[in-house]
Structure 1
Amino acid sequence: MSLPPLDSLPATTPPAAPSPTRTTIPAAGDVSCPAHPASAHSPSTTTCSPPAAARPTSLSRLTRLVVTLFPLLLIGTWAALDRSAVLDGVARLGDADPWWLLAGFLFTLLGWVVAACVRQGALPERLPPGLLLASQLAAGAANHVLPASIGAHAVTLRFLRGRGIPLARATASLALYSLVKPVARIPVLIVFLVAVGDTLRFGALAPDRSTLLTAAGSAALGLTTVCLLVTTVRPLRRPAVDFVRTALTDVRILHTRPSRVLALWGGSAVAPVLQGSTIAAVGFALGLPLSWAQVVFALLIASTAVGAVPAPGGIGPVDAAMVFTMVSLGAPTGLSTATVIGYRVLTVWIPLLPGTLILSALVHRKVL
């Protein structure tokens, strides 16, 4: 019996071994965990929960609520402490000419618009006009709480950062804004000095030698301190160099655009004139025997002399210097004081509540 050849036999494949069951364990932070069948050895089931970042915590909501209401609480406390000055100013404004007061309020509104233009002129990027104006109203409210314009700069810095402006460029914009304002004030001061020179008694307004030496010494000490910190503290050196480089670059870019130059320098020169016009309108409403040029000059002298004193919104030192200057120009002391108090009520206390509400709304909407 002959066997068939091996080539003609059918090929047989051994049966495949059963593959072991693979169990996939979800990651600890996986939100989409599949349901696991319970086994006999582990009857407990696994429940999946969303990550902590996806659940809004009550602490974050409470923090935002506190930050939103804090300006209102602070302004209310300040109003309660200074209520006598507010009531006195409101009483004096009640007997004033309403049309001149309306003109003063319109000058105040124009001052906010000019401040927004100057802020835009100090930055190459274009900002939304509506939000920029709202931020300046909020900055005005914050400026009357913290000294040396810290509140206004802090609000503006948060607004610029929220618009995507890098920190170095935002701080350079604030520095340029702070530098241009006093420089642009000098030619305006010279013009009004010539206008009122015939009626001005320079002896009463000229600072004495000790005052000049104190001012010069303070400026030299501040500049020396900054230079020593930058040169000796190494962590400050690189940010300072980056800041200076960014500032010089932005200054060069801005001064190649006529619209930015007009907004920056023109707005900085017009701002004190509008502020002085507001004071003049209040004075005319109360019967102040000074001309418009004399009142604007009194503001320029007062803000230049004591504008560096770190008082909230310049309230206090600038007010005293303004009363002293108007008295030196021939106005009665009581009427000069009433003019300054009425001016503060018109430009600080009346816009303070809407400005604080705008500040809280911008914080709540995460614009700041």
Structure 2
Amino acid sequence: MTVAESLPVTVGRRRLYVQLGITLVALAAAGGMLAAHRATLDSGTDRLADADGEWLVLACLAALATWVCAAVAQQGAVVEQLPKGRLVAVQFAAGAANHLLPAGAGAAVVNLRFLTRCGLSTRSSATALAVKAAVGGIVRCVLGVALLVASPGTVPLSVRIPHVLVLLPVAAGAAVLAVAISGRLGRVVSRALADVRDVHRCRARACALWGGSVAFALLHAGVVVAVVHAIGLGLPTSRVVMAYLVASGAAALLPTPGGLGSLDAALAVGLTAAGAPGPAAVSAVLGYRLLTGWLPMLPGLLVLALLARRSAL
């Protein structure tokens, strides 16, 4: 192997080591926080054990529907028709794999292998995943802004102003980056935009992409809302939804497996800011995690193994 050939491998390994290092640090910090707040965690667990069963069933149904919505959004991100049953199964398995690798890499790898097995090129598959991820981020931002417009009291003014001040330099940096794109990177972006235009030429696929992404975000927020009602918290639904949207966005900044630690802390802080007592906020986070991550973990890994055995991945 020449020096030129070995350089990408070295860079890839270095990036992997950095991601794993950040993941370990984040998980260690999360473990330290849990140990420091053991009494609050125990109280939250007890409260969740006495939760309303009907609301928990509703939360379970919302959690199950999230995988269907993820499948709809993934279908909308590609022009080719994908096998529906396997597509939903892959999203379920990808959710489990997402808790094993940092920064959503598990779900990306599973979906990438599935799309290539379905006949898509590696470039088209990667573009489809990028389009789906970008639309998911845009949807969360739009939902947050729409919620603030529809219900201005959702977030106090003193909290909204710093967010605006932070978004201004971010928007300016994005504009500078867009202007700076040129050469080979520009050609890659042009090809990706061409794929995006191909998807949006079909109204049904565009509706599937955006509708599935919107439903996915709202159903995850619905799981939190149902758990909050199950444990008897009288928080306004708009504040709970906003807490989830902000927490999911903040968790994306830390590359932990499945947002472990980052999403938990951000959601607990968001619910506390919305008016929930500390132990009750912990209960809500535990319930959300239980239904969307921990309980589906083993079945998801079994489905992943089955898909791999049948050469679907």
> What TM-score range do you get, normalising by the shorter chain?
0.7 to 0.9
Which structure: larger Rg?
A: 1
Cα distance, 1:144 vs. partner?
1.2
Distance in 1 (CA, whole Å) between partners of 2:228 and 2:76 is 32
Q: Secondary structure at the match of 2:258?
A: coil
Distance in 2 (CA, whole Å) between partners of 1:166 and 1:213 is 36
Distance in 2 (CA, whole Å) between partners of 1:268 and 1:213 is 23
* Higher mean displacement: 281-290 or 312-321: 312-321
Distance in 1 (CA, whole Å) between partners of 2:202 and 2:167 is 40
Aligned to 1:276: 221
Note the aligned Cα RMSD (angstroms): 3.1
Aligned to 2:166: 212
Q: How many positions carry a matched residue from both structures?
A: 276
Q: 1:190/1:128 Cα in 2 relative to 1: closer, same or farther (>3 Å)? A: same
Aligned to 2:240: 295
Q: 1:125/1:305 Cα in 2 relative to 1: closer, same or farther (>3 Å)? A: same
Cα distance, 1:191 vs. partner?
2.1
Q: Superposition pairs for residues 58-137 of structure 1, below 5 Å? A: 92-137=47-92
Distance in 2 (CA, whole Å) between partners of 1:314 and 1:215 is 25
Q: Superposition pairs for residues 215-230 of structure 1, below 5 Å? A: 216=170
Cα distance, 1:241 vs. partner?
6.5
Q: Flag structure 2 segments of 5+ consecutive residues without an equivalent.
A: 1-26
Question: 1:240-270 CA deviation, whole Å, 9 max, x = no partner?
Answer: 5664354233222211211101111112122
Cα distance, 1:307 vs. partner?
2.4
Q: Which amino acid aligns with 2:288?
A: Y
Cα distance, 1:360 vs. partner?
0.9
Question: 1:75-121 CA deviation, whole Å, 9 max, x = no partner?
Answer: xxx9xxx8999x96765433111111100010011111000000000
Aligned to 1:334: 279
- State percent identity of aligned pairs: 41
Aligned to 2:265: 320
Task: Point out 4+ residue stretches in structure 1 off by more than 6 angstroms.
Answer: 82-85
The alignment status of 1:250 with 2:191, answered yes or no, reads no
Cα distance, 1:292 vs. partner?
2.0
Aligned to 2:299: 354
Q: Which amino acid aligns with 2:142?
A: P
Q: Secondary structure at the match of 2:119?
A: coil
2:103 to 148, 169, 193: 148
Distance in 2 (CA, whole Å) between partners of 1:355 and 1:363 is 12
Aligned to 1:64: none
Question: 1:137-171 CA deviation, whole Å, 9 max, x = no partner?
Answer: 11100111112111101100000111111111111
Q: Which amino acid aligns with 1:144?
A: H
Report if the CA contact (8 A) 1:122-1:177 is conserved.
Answer: yes
Aligned to 1:365: 310
Report if the CA contact (8 A) 1:139-1:152 is conserved.
Answer: yes
Q: TM-score, normalised by structure 2?
A: 0.78
Which of structures 1 and 2 has the larger relative contact order (alpha carbons within 8 angstroms, sep 6+)?
2
Q: 1:333/1:195 Cα in 2 relative to 1: closer, same or farther (>3 Å)? A: farther
